[in-house]
Structure 1
Amino acid sequence: MTRYLVGLDAGNTMTKAVLFDLQGKEIGAERRRNPIRFSAPGHTERDADRMWQEAAEAIRALLQNTGVAPSDIVAISTSGYGAGLYLVDERGNPTRPGIMSTDSRANHVIEGWTRDRVAAPNELRVQQRLWSGQPAPLLSWLAAREPEVCQRTHRILFCKDFLRGKLCGVFDTDPTDAGIAGLSDVTKQRYELEFFESLGIDGWFGKLPDIAPGTDVAGKVTATAAGLTGLLEGTPVIRGVVDVVSAALASGVKAPNQMSVVAGTFSINSTLHASPRLDRLPLLQSPYPIDNLYLATEGSPTSASNFEWYCKSVLGPVVAAAAEDSGRTIYESLSSRVQSAMDRENNILFMPFLFGGPDSAPAGFIGLEAAHTSADIVRAIFEGIAFAHRLDIEALSAGKDIAPVDSIRLTGGAARSEPWAQIFADVLGLPVEITGCSELGALGTVMAAAVGLGEYENWHSAIDNMVHVTQHIAPRAEWQGVYQRKFDRFKAHVNALSALNQH
């Protein structure tokens, strides 16, 4: 009898249910889109109950379409995007729509904390910067604007923990989600009352979720969840890890000389450190479940989501349909075009800031000419996104505590395009390695299950057996100068556009 693991991963746009064997081979996947609700300017929300219903449907379809018997599923584990907010009552029902990490309603809260000089000391308490999509400023906003929600809320949760709670009825969290949420001291892996009191949100303190290891069995699939998902009642549910950590684990990052780069909705760039007390506070920080290390992350909404916007809004469904008719994905189709554009000079700069840029820099193209083709434009998009990642990586490397990185594990949209992955290697000047799995968030969290169930002795063993590198891409020496000059132009334009946009 072959035994399988199910990983449930809820990102900013999709929830994925993915089936793996114990060697990390992806057997099948089902995806369901998560619509975003823009209830007011700056508000990005999600119907939490609908997300759960879609997730349950995806699990049921996964079992049906792969033909795997529910009795062969040894465990299910969850992952999801970090920060944001899900609030539930004593029965686990949402007390309001979920809030996504892209939400900016609490910008003024951060501004007030900065003005009152309480932001900086509390950033040191959680070892990362405070920003508007985190639970702390959102809880402050809710206490002032929706006090009745506070009264009805029994537990504060994050995305993966809400879904796991629906599977097994246990609503708690793990150190990685609590850390990236910016609510816990990542060294002690616990909440500090002084943090909440100093920010004026101590009324929420008793509603925080308990923190327990991500590899533990949190509970068992309930009869209700079994009826919705097709899983057997009593199937173990592993607590799991947040998606940033999950992607790093699933790409095989286990030492400070490796960097995890995720080119997805966000530019996510992470390095490992022996201590979370870094000279320069990162955007995110979390305990890492290997060798007592910590994962520091810089990120921004400047990555592959910009290319997806171009495909949908500029090229439109006709191009996507034509690509599918040829038996290729739109990534494969456009990548072959980009390859043809690499042999000619291209001075186009693309500013990948459709979802927000540094210091309000606007999105757009610079240097377009009538002679340019669609291949030149796509190449510029690929390069601009790689440049934006480099900006984040430079910020991550700005302090004294620089990780000794000598290779990159690349995941996300760019990893599915060989020319784009080559551009990343050339722009960053480091070898790029790519694994054979397309759903890293789901793989990382089923690796937690494999460790927790004793299938592998530890995380090192799980990585050695479940992560399989399929591509090694070396940076090309002849392109180093080309991209250094172009990156310098890119930074100069970003600075100039930011200054103009602020007047």
Structure 2
Amino acid sequence: MYVGIDVGTSMVKAAAFDGTGRERAVAARPVGLALHGGVVEQDMEKVYAAVVAVLEELTRRVPEPVELAGLTGQGDGVWLVDGEGRPVRPAASWMDGRAHELVGRWLADGTFETVFRRTGSAMFPGCPGPLLAWLDRHEPKALDTAEAALYCKDMVFRRLTGAPATTDVSDASMPFLDPRTRTYDNRVVELLGLTHRRRLLAPVSDPVATAETRGEGLPAGTRIANGPYDLPACALGAGVTAPGDGLLIVGTCLASLVATTELDLSGEPAGLYISTDRPGHWLRAMPAMVGTAALDWVLSTTGVPHAEVDGLLADTPPGAHGVRVLPYFAPSGERAPFVEPRLRAELTGVSLESSKGDLVRATCEGIGYAARHCLDAAGLTGSLAVCGGGTRSAAWMRLLADVLGRPLRVVEGEVGARGAVLAAAERYGIPLDAKAWTEPTAVVEPDPGRAAYYAKGYREHLTRLDQARARARA
């Protein structure tokens, strides 16, 4: 049995696979977010307890010996730990918005662009640079106490194994890693005013770190590898490794990734280049802030259960009777394919005649337009795979194929966990058939007529977005 662990933003999952890549079982536990005034935090002890619980459940349900485990999880944020790997304070989530004024200041004075030109990272309020700078100003004692500012999976790896604090090149890519040398750029640390906190940046393990577990969740002595984080892990799990091929992750974060061997740090600073386990190969990433979270908010507000989404999409025509949604609901604004910390969602074209179906369809269309914008900016030229919770809606997948105007290779199941296992197997020299492990479960073709309709709608979306960005800056 091979076990993949995916420590997500709202759900912790562990999946068991056999040697052919067949998913045997999945265990999951929800984890909460504390939101107040733009601050978004997580209780690290509860996150770790959820990891242990899902692993215990999984190993009870699939009793075969665990050959190998791979770990992945949400990226960005700041997970401060002491010398024992215990939390110093709650983790600041990647969704956190408290550092938006710092990002705004760096946008205005050129620091933001300089960092992008050096590292390929377009900072946003919830990434480690701004968050550490904010904590240095407002909670310096927490930084004084901490041994390391980790990423989510690194904290879990530290606790499961007792190994020293480390991270990997994928997590370190935002915002301090030089993608050419695969080491921290100390000039960037200096530009963000964090030279005196440089010790908090965990050593980068290249290739990913390995260790044996201590007996919590998994049997003691189980081999485990740490990384990459969830976006590149999903790319591995979906078979997206050839230059030009892309992946759209329809999850809490709407992430668009395109594999590339070219490092282009020109153009509008946005997204990031994620370093992979292969030097000279990157993922051009445009991780938009809100994906399924936008639809969840609309469903909660309108009282529509998830089970009714497919029916509402089927009963509502393209264009949603004139209702339009700019789906930028995150409290920290947007980070891809542009950075606007003050951008907020907009709902237009609503009247007393608008239905719940109109609101749901307009939201799904808006998310689709945002995805197209990100994929265009990331340089998609090859095939496109899709994974994430949104793939459970067949109607939404058909809508996305139409909005994007291209076939979708739908990869279902625990794709991030699958990629974590493949990365671990590569690290340990275990020969798994990656092609067999990453076969799509379906291919969804676009309807030519609807695709043409949405091509016009996409141009209109970009115009509305330009106007909204101008208002956000006013």
Alignment TM-score > 0.5, same fold:
yes
| 1:427 is aligned to 2:408 | no
Q: Residues 97, 346 of structure 1: CA spacing in aligned structure 2 closer, same or farther, 3 A cutoff? A: same
Does the aligned pair in 2 maintain the 1:213–1:239 contact within 8 Å?
Answer: no
Q: 1:67 to 1:271 in 2, by over 3 A?
A: closer
1:27 matched to 2:24: yes
Q: 1:121 to 1:234 in 2, by over 3 A?
A: same
Where in structure 2 are there 5+ consecutive unaligned residues?
335-339
Equivalent residues of 2:309, 2:360 under 8 A apart: yes
Question: Structure 1 residues 261 and 345, CA, compared in 2 at 3 Å: closer, same or farther?
Answer: closer
Residue 54 in structure 1 maps to residue 50 in structure 2:
yes
Q: Does 1:336 align with 2:311?
A: yes
Quote the Cα distance in structure 2 between the aligned partners of 1:341 and 1:41: 36
Matched-pair contact (CA < 8 Å) for 1:450–1:462: no
- Using the TM superposition, name which of 190-199 and 259-268 deviates more: 190-199
Correspondence for 1:464:
435
Cα separation, partners in 2 of 1:462 and 1:98, compared to 1, 3 Å: farther
Which one of the candidate residues 222, 232, 235 is aligned to 1:245? 232
How many angstroms apart in 1 are the aligned matches of 2:262 and 2:83? 37
Please say which of residues 484-493 and 383-392 is displaced more in the overlay: 484-493
Please tell me whether residue 5 in structure 1 is matched to residue 7 in structure 2.
no
Q: Could you tell me which amino acid in structure 2 is paired with residue 284 of structure 1?
A: L
Q: Give the counterpart of 2:125 among 129, 132, 135.
A: 132
Contact 2:80-2:91 within 8 A present in 1 as well? yes
In 1, the alpha carbon distance for the partners of 2:366 and 2:168 equals 35
2:302/2:356 contact within 8 Å kept: no
TM-score, normalization: structure 1? 0.86
Label 1:427 to 1:90 Cα distance change in 2 as closer, same or farther (>3 A): same
**TM-score of the superposed pair, with normalisation by structure 2:** 0.91
Aligned CA distance change for structure 1 residues 112 and 278 (closer, same or farther; 3 Å): closer
* 2:205 aligned residue: 212
Corresponding residue for 1:326? Answer: none
**Aligned: 1:108 with 2:101:** yes
- Opposite residue 127 of structure 1, the aligned amino acid is G
Please say if residues 196 and 205 of structure 1, whose CA atoms lie closer than 8 Å, have aligned partners that are also in contact. Answer: yes
SS in 2 for 1:260: strand
SS in 2 for 1:302: coil
Structure 1, gaps ≥5 residues long: 321-329, 397-401
CA-atom RMSD in angstroms: 2.4
CA shift in 2, pair 1:234/1:425, >3 Å:
same
Paired position in structure 1 for 2:373:
391
Alignment of 1:124-203 (within 5 A): 124-170=117-163, 171-179=165-173, 181-203=174-196
With over 3 angstroms needed to count, the CA separation of the structure-2 counterparts of 1:345 and 1:314, relative to structure 1, is closer
Please say if residues 77 and 446 of structure 1, whose CA atoms lie closer than 8 Å, have aligned partners that are also in contact.
yes
Matched, 1:88 2:88: no
Deviations 1:88-119 (A, max 9, x none): 11111111111111112122222333444333
- Which 10-residue stretch deviates more, 112-121 or 293-302? 112-121
Secondary structure of residue in 2 paired with 1:22:
coil
Matching of residue 450 in structure 1 with residue 437 in structure 2:
no
* More moved, 156-165 vs 19-28: 19-28
Pairwise CA distance, 1:163: 0.5
> 2: distance between equivalents of 1:269 and 1:313?
27
Stretch moving more, 344-353 or 72-81: 344-353
- Matched length: 465
Which residue of structure 2 lines up, in the alignment, with residue 486 of structure 1?
A: 457
Q: Does the 8 A contact of 2:42 with 2:92 survive in 1?
A: yes
CA contact (8 A) 2:406 2:445 kept: yes
State the match for 1:78 in structure 2: 71
Alpha-carbon deviation of 1:160? 0.5
**Mean CA deviation greater in 356-365 or 207-216:** 356-365
Question: Quick check: 1:258 aligned with 2:245?
Answer: yes
CA drift of 1:203 comes to: 1.5
Alignment partners' CA distance in 2, 1:137 and 1:364: 26
Q: 1:367 to 1:113 in 2, by over 3 A?
A: closer
